[in-house]
Amino acid sequence: MLLKADPTFYPSPKLASQAPAEKLAYVAALNANGGSRPDALLVVDVDRKSKKYGEIVGQVDMPNAGDELHHFGWNACSSALCPYAPHPHVERRYLIVPGLRSSRIHVLDTKPNPKKPKIIKVIEPATVAERTGYTRPHTVHCGPDGIYLSALGSPNGEGPGGIFALDHYTFEPLGRWEVERGPQYFGYDFAWHLGYDTAVSSEWGTPNMVENGVNPELLLAGKYGHSINIWDLRKRKHLQSLDLGPEQQMVLELRPAHDPTKAYGFVGVVVSLKDLSSSIWLWHKPKANGSSNGKWEIKKVIEIPAEPADPEKLPPLLKGFKAVPPLLTDINLSVDDRFLYASCWGTGEMRQYDVSDPFNPKLVGSVHIGGIVRHAPHPSKPTKELNGGPQMVELSRDGRRVYFTNSLYAAWDKQFYPEGINGWVAKLDVNPNGGIEFDRKFLVETEKLRPHQVRLQGGDASSDFYCYP
C-alpha cells in the first residue's frame, strides 16, 4: 500500500522542472495497413547512458484491431496534491489508452516492469456510450478527483462532444462531466486553470466530420470548430465562448500556463481559410477592473504562413492552392512557461518560440524534417528522405528534450501523404537560452506502425497540472 505521495508528483512547476530525467517513453502507434493486425503501445529507451538508447525495448499489442490509438495519458499526476480534492495515495502507474475510432479504452499497468506494461482492463465501447452518452474518446487528463477524457461526439457520430470521468481506482466510467453545456457542441481538447477554478475546451468536429478525412465542402464553408469554451470548473457550467471566427478552422491543442497564478494559455489553429496559414492564439483573463470586467479574452499572437509549392508535388487536396499549409497540429509549452513549440505537419517544420512575454512571442529556433514537399531527412541519415512531419510533440519536465512523431490520423494521413507514412520518432536537444537541434543518435523508425502521442516515464510537460506556483 502506498502511504506517501508518488515521488513523481510535484506541488509546483518549479519543483517539477528539477525532476530526474526520464528513462523510457511510451508511444501510441497505429497500424494503418488494415487486416487483423492491432495497434500497439511502444516502449522506447530514452536513457542516454543505456546501450539501447533510441531503440524500441517493449511493445504491447492491443487485443482488437481497428482501435486507432491516438492520445492517451497517465491515471494520476501532480494534481493529486491539490488541497480541495487530495488523492496523494494514488500513484502514476497506469496508462489510460483509448481507441479514437473504436471508443474502446485500455488500462495498462506499467509495474512491476516498466518496459513490459500489461493490459489489466478493457472498457468496451458499449459501456462508454451507455454510461456517458459519448463516443470517440480523445484527450486524457488526470485530475484531482478522477480521470477525465474528452470525446468527439455521440454514438450516432454527431454531436455534442464533451468530457466524461473515470473513477481513480476502478477505472469505471462515471458519467458526463458537463452540468450546463450552454452553446458548446464540438469536442476536442480540454485543460484546467486550477488556480482560477476554470476549465477550457476546444473544438474539432463531430466523428462524422473527421473520420473519413477533411471534408473540403465543410472546411471551405467554415463548419469545423472555431471557438474555445470557458467553464466554471467546480459548477461544471459553461461561462463563455471565445469565437475566433469561421475563417479559423479547427481550434485544437490547448496549453495553459503551468503556474496556477497565471491566467493565460495558448491554443493552435490548423488553418486559415484566408491564406492557408496556421496561427497560435493567447487566451487570457484581464484584471477585474479592466475593460472586460474580468471576462476572458483571446487574441492572435503568432501566424505561420503557407509556403508556395509546385502543384505537381502536392496531393490532390492541395493542388488547386499551389501552396503547402503549415498544418499546425500540435503545440506544447515548457513547464517553466518559457518556450512554446509548434508542430507544422504540412511543411515539416518544428518551431520554438520564447513566450516569456506571452503577448509577444519570439521565434528562436527552427528545424525541418519530412514535410509534404520537402521530405527533409534526419541528420543521422542525410540521404534518406522522410515523409510525415512534426506532429505530436512532448517535452521533458526540465525542458531540455523534445520528442515528436509524424502521424496524425489514418484518414488524414492518406489525404496529405497519399504515398503512405513510414513512422518515426525524433528528438531535439534544447539550448537553455533558446535554440534547438536534432539529437543525431535518436531516430526511432517504426516503419508500418505510425506513432502518434508520446508520454514520458515519470511525467512530462503536458501530463500534469499544479495547484501551487
Kindly state the average pLDDT of the residues 53-69.
Answer: 97
Q: What is the pLDDT of residue 1?
A: 44
pLDDT 10s digits, 142-157? 999 999 999 999 999 9
Q: What is the pLDDT of residue 277?
A: 98
Q: What percentage of the chain reaches a pLDDT higher than 90?
A: 93
Q: What is the pLDDT of residue 4?
A: 61
pLDDT band at 89 (very low <50, low <70, confident <90, very high): confident
pTM of the model: 0.97
Q: Are 370 and 388 in contact (CB under 8 A)?
A: yes
Kindly state the average pLDDT of the residues 108-116.
Answer: 97
Kindly state the average pLDDT of the residues 443-457.
Answer: 95
Answer yes or no: is 320 within a domain. Answer: yes
pLDDT at 380 over 90: yes
Q: What is the pLDDT of residue 5?
A: 82
Kindly state the average pLDDT of the residues 377-397.
Answer: 97
Answer yes or no: is 40 within a domain. Answer: yes
Structural domain count, the chain: 1
Kindly state the average pLDDT of the residues 346-352.
Answer: 98
CA distance 393 to 412: 18
CATH of the domain at 136: 2.130.10.10
Kindly state the average pLDDT of the residues 42-51.
Answer: 98
Closest CA to 243 of 298, 284, 295: 298
- Across 1-5, 273-277, 307-311, 418-422, least confident range: 1-5
Burial class (CB in 10 A: 0-12, 13-18, 19+), 320: exposed
**Could you list the residue range(s) of the whole structural domain that residue 283 is in?**
13-456
| Peptide bond before residue 112 is cis, with ω within 30 degrees of 0 | yes
Answer yes or no: is 57 within a domain. Answer: yes
Answer yes or no: is 5 within a domain. Answer: no
Answer yes or no: is 464 within a domain. Answer: no
Please give the mean pLDDT across all residues of the chain.
95
pLDDT at 455 over 90: yes
Q: What is the pLDDT of residue 287?
A: 73
pLDDT 10s digits, 288-342? 655 556 799 999 999 999 999 999 999 999 999 999 999 999 999 999 999 999 9
Answer yes or no: is 3 within a domain. Answer: no
Answer yes or no: is 394 within a domain. Answer: yes
Answer yes or no: is 466 within a domain. Answer: no
Quote the cell numbers at residue 150. Answer: 474528452
